[in-house]
Chains A and B, each alone.
Chain A
Amino acid sequence: MNTKKHHTDHKIYGVGASAGISIGKAYVMKKNVIAVTGALLRDDNEVIKEIEKFEIAVRMSVEEVLTIKKGDRLKLKEEEIEILETHIEFLTDPQLKADVYREIHRDRRPAMDAVIEVIKKNVGVFKNMDNEYLRARAADVQDIGDRIVKNIRRRKSHDTPVFEPGTIIIAEDILPSDAITLDMTCVTGFATSLGGKTSHTAILAKSRTIPAVLGCGNALTGIDDGDVLILDAINGIVIVNPNEACMEEYRAEKDRYDRKRQSLNSLRHTPASTTDGVGIELLANISGADDLEESWEYGAEGSGLFRTELLFMNRDSVPPEEEQFEYYRRVAIRSKGKVVTVRTIDIGGDKPLDYFGLGQEENPFLGYRGIRISLDKKDIFMAQLKAILRAGVFGNLRIMFPMISNMQELRVAKGILEETRRELEENNIDFARDMPVGIMIEVPSAAVTADLLAREVDFFSIGTNDLCQYTLAVDRGNEKVKDLYNPFDPAVLRLIAYVVEQAHKRKISVGMCGELASDPRATLLLIGMGLKEFSMSAVSIPAIKSVIINHSYTRAKEIYEKILGMDNSESIINYLQQQT
């Protein structure tokens, strides 16, 4: 029996479906399989009886699900109530009923065989769907089928097992209603052979914040009741009977993770306002739809910078409009009405792409890059604009041009945008008509003419990395001069303050998406200048938020006033460090 038993420290790999680490003992859930009887009904009388059996079993099943739903013992989460609602719909489905009737009536099969057959067929259909979400619904169909069969056989619900504290459940799969009715207070983890990120076990684990490693395949069969397990759901690993060193490592890791989680959770729903009530918008910089979930976790209220370069990288040719449309649309849909600022491609400089044929340049940062390439390669630019405008129908997108250095450039870019809109209009293609248009302010010439540029756009976003290196004439990548690169230099700060001031004057919104936005030393100073929108890598949001919620706007203004009288970055940084 124990021939398959795993050795110490045996590792099993699956999909981490709900993050976290759990250490505990295995409880192996076994599944009883019910086979068809193969009997055939002899006469119409039996047919009527079997149909009646089926109907009664369905009614009992609906009752059971309603009872689970009403039961307050379980303290059901919203997601779980939804699952049960779906089950009631499946149980009373007219198509299911018609199929079962046909099996009983035409094929003369007993109710139980008919249900097993029809459920098997439907489970098969769901399992073969090309959409992960729908594939996961196969478990729902199996679940309601099992329930009807159980009621046809007039079996009582099997007692729910009682778990010891620190139990990690090992199962082939956990059927949705089982998962809901299990007493979870002592369960600290799940590992299953089947299932993936959108399965019920994943939903359940997430809603209860229990670590889960799913889709482990047959490797789990060697685990016995009582085996000590480490469930690393961050990396999707199950470690069976770990040695002491490994345990020690994971205890520390778990501690770190849990503490981080806790501090995140406590800040996540706290609005980012100063102690005197000035609201600040904290946004995430993203590269695609996959970054959104993490952004929400860290409390982002949208995205101030959606870099589109990722889609253009690691390939041999420009992605066609349709592919771009799909990519942007996914972001639009998944951002649930929150603002997302889509920056048109910003390649060249430090981000070269072979198929654009950019070639070697003496001074790439002062050369062919950003909007300059887009304006030159108009067909590529228009395809991207079309895709963005079309995707705008599905969410709250803004469009942003990088590297604008003067008014002519902006006007040409806007002209092409207008031409793109006309083309979509003429071809009767749906697009977001009033999508806001903004520019990055990252070239000093744009910063000092912010008053002029502000007349022609809906928003500014200050890119501090380039603004700093262009203003100070410092290449950050050059070891010999990189110490001169300093966004706290009065020259850079003056430019930023001027841009913010001019944006306010023209009543357009202004944000910052460069590295300075995620530097907690700069937060109060920037707020003091009047900046109210910060976009950064999502992980930085909690740190910036905690600065904001612990200080007042009045204080921020004082700090800015004070800095105005300082003539070098060293004293400015020293002063700022004393303030927070």
Chain B
Amino acid sequence: MISNDYVITAAEGIHARPATALIRLVKRYRSVVLLKKGEKSIRLNSMLNIMTFGAKAGDTITVEITGDDESEASLAIDKFFREELKKI
């Protein structure tokens, strides 16, 4: 299991556009990807769940990746959070 923390920088949290991109990215891997904030935890494959997750700018979230391709998945997701999310 690989676990990484990120701070959300997008103004209104995760919008539909980045969420769509993120889900599509996650779907490319076999690993199970979880998104956590405090007590809350969801799977990163559902738009409904991501949007109702309530991540706001400034929040620290944890991404947990478990599976046989977890290192590749983790690299790609890490790149997404570091680069893509800022631009949106």
Chain A interface residues (CB < 8 Å from chain B): 82-83, 85-86, 89-90, 93-96, 122, 125-126, 129-131, 133-134, 137, 140-141, 329-330, 333-334, 393-394, 430
Q: Which residue of B lies closest to A333 (CB)?
A: B11
Chain B interface residues (CB < 8 Å from chain A): 7, 9-13, 15-17, 19-20, 23, 43, 45-49, 51-52, 54, 56-58
What are 13 A-B interface contacts by the 8 Å CB criterion?
A82-B16, A82-B17, A89-B19, A90-B48, A93-B47, A93-B48, A95-B48, A126-B52, A129-B54, A130-B54, A131-B12, A131-B56, A329-B57
Q: Which of A94, A140, A334 contacts B11 (CB 8 A)?
A: A334
Q: Cβ of A394 and Cβ of B9 under 8 Å apart? A: yes
Give complex CA distance A93, B47 in Å.
6
Q: Cβ of A137 and Cβ of B51 under 8 Å apart? A: yes
* Closest beta carbon of chain A to B70's beta carbon, Å: 20
* Closest beta carbon of chain A to B33's beta carbon, Å: 12
Q: Which of B17, B20, B49, B51 contacts A134 (CB 8 A)?
A: B51
Q: Which residue of B lies closest to A125 (CB)?
A: B52
* Closest beta carbon of chain B to A367's beta carbon, Å: 39
Q: Cβ of B20 and Cβ of A85 under 8 Å apart? A: yes
* Closest beta carbon of chain B to A36's beta carbon, Å: 21
Give complex CA distance A141, B52 in Å.
12
Give complex CA distance A90, B16 in Å.
10
A contact face: mostly helix, strand, loop, or mixed: helix
Q: Cβ of A89 and Cβ of B11 under 8 Å apart? A: no
* Closest beta carbon of chain B to A223's beta carbon, Å: 32
Residue of A129, A140, A334, A394 with most partner-chain B CB within 10 A: A394
Q: Which of B16, B20, B57 contacts A137 (CB 8 A)?
A: B16
Q: Cβ of B15 and Cβ of A141 under 8 Å apart? A: no
* Closest beta carbon of chain A to B15's beta carbon, Å: 7
Name the B residues within 8 Å of A330 (CB-CB): 11
Name the A residues within 8 Å of B20 (CB-CB): 82, 85-86, 89
- With known contacts A137-B16, A333-B9, A86–B47 Cβ distance under 8 A: yes
Q: Cβ of A329 and Cβ of B58 under 8 Å apart? A: yes
Name the B residues within 8 Å of A137 (CB-CB): 16, 51
Q: Cβ of B46 and Cβ of A94 under 8 Å apart? A: yes
Give complex CA distance A334, B11 in Å.
7
Q: Cβ of B46 and Cβ of A93 under 8 Å apart? A: yes
Q: Cβ of A126 and Cβ of B57 under 8 Å apart? A: no
Q: Which residue of A lies closest to B49 (CB)?
A: A95
Q: Which residue of A lies closest to B7 (CB)?
A: A430
Q: Cβ of A86 and Cβ of B48 under 8 Å apart? A: no
* Closest beta carbon of chain B to A333's beta carbon, Å: 4
- With known contacts A330-B11, A394-B9, A141–B48 Cβ distance under 8 A: yes
Name the B residues within 8 Å of A90 (CB-CB): 47-48
New A-B contacts (15) at CB < 8 Å, excluding given A85-B20, A90-B47, A95-B49: A83-B16, A85-B16, A89-B20, A96-B48, A126-B51, A131-B54, A134-B12, A134-B51, A134-B52, A137-B16, A329-B58, A333-B10, A333-B11, A333-B57, A394-B57
Give complex CA distance A415, B70 in Å.
48
Give complex CA distance A137, B46 in Å.
15
Give complex CA distance A393, B86 in Å.
11
Name the A residues within 8 Å of B46 (CB-CB): 93-96
9 smallest CB-CB distances across A and B, nearest first, come from A95-B46, A89-B47, A86-B16, A333-B11, A133-B12, A95-B48, A93-B46, A89-B20, A93-B48
Name the B residues within 8 Å of A140 (CB-CB): 16
* Closest beta carbon of chain B to A321's beta carbon, Å: 14
Q: Which of B23, B56, B58 contacts A89 (CB 8 A)?
A: B23
Name the B residues within 8 Å of A83 (CB-CB): 16
Name the A residues within 8 Å of B9 (CB-CB): 333, 393-394
Give complex CA distance A85, B9 in Å.
23
Q: Which residue of B lies closest to A99 (CB)?
A: B48
- With known contacts A86-B20, A89-B20, A333-B57, A131–B47 Cβ distance under 8 A: no
Q: Which residue of B lies closest to A89 (CB)?
A: B47
* Closest beta carbon of chain B to A141's beta carbon, Å: 7
Give complex CA distance A90, B58 in Å.
26
Name the B residues within 8 Å of A393 (CB-CB): 9
* Closest beta carbon of chain A to B40's beta carbon, Å: 14
Q: Which residue of B lies closest to A79 (CB)?
A: B17
Q: Cβ of A94 and Cβ of B45 under 8 Å apart? A: yes
Q: Which residue of B lies closest to A393 (CB)?
A: B9
Q: Cβ of A122 and Cβ of B48 under 8 Å apart? A: yes
Give complex CA distance A82, B15 in Å.
11
Give complex CA distance A137, B9 in Å.
20
* Closest beta carbon of chain B to A132's beta carbon, Å: 8
Give complex CA distance A47, B11 in Å.
44
Name the A residues within 8 Å of B49 (CB-CB): 95
* Closest beta carbon of chain A to B80's beta carbon, Å: 16
Give complex CA distance A93, B43 in Å.
11
Name the A residues within 8 Å of B45 (CB-CB): 94
Give complex CA distance A85, B18 in Å.
11
Give complex CA distance A86, B49 in Å.
13
Q: Which residue of A lies closest to B11 (CB)?
A: A333
Name the A residues within 8 Å of B10 (CB-CB): 333
* Closest beta carbon of chain B to A506's beta carbon, Å: 33
Name the A residues within 8 Å of B17 (CB-CB): 82, 85-86
Name the B residues within 8 Å of A85 (CB-CB): 16-17, 20
Residue of A83, A125, A134 with most partner-chain B CB within 10 A: A134
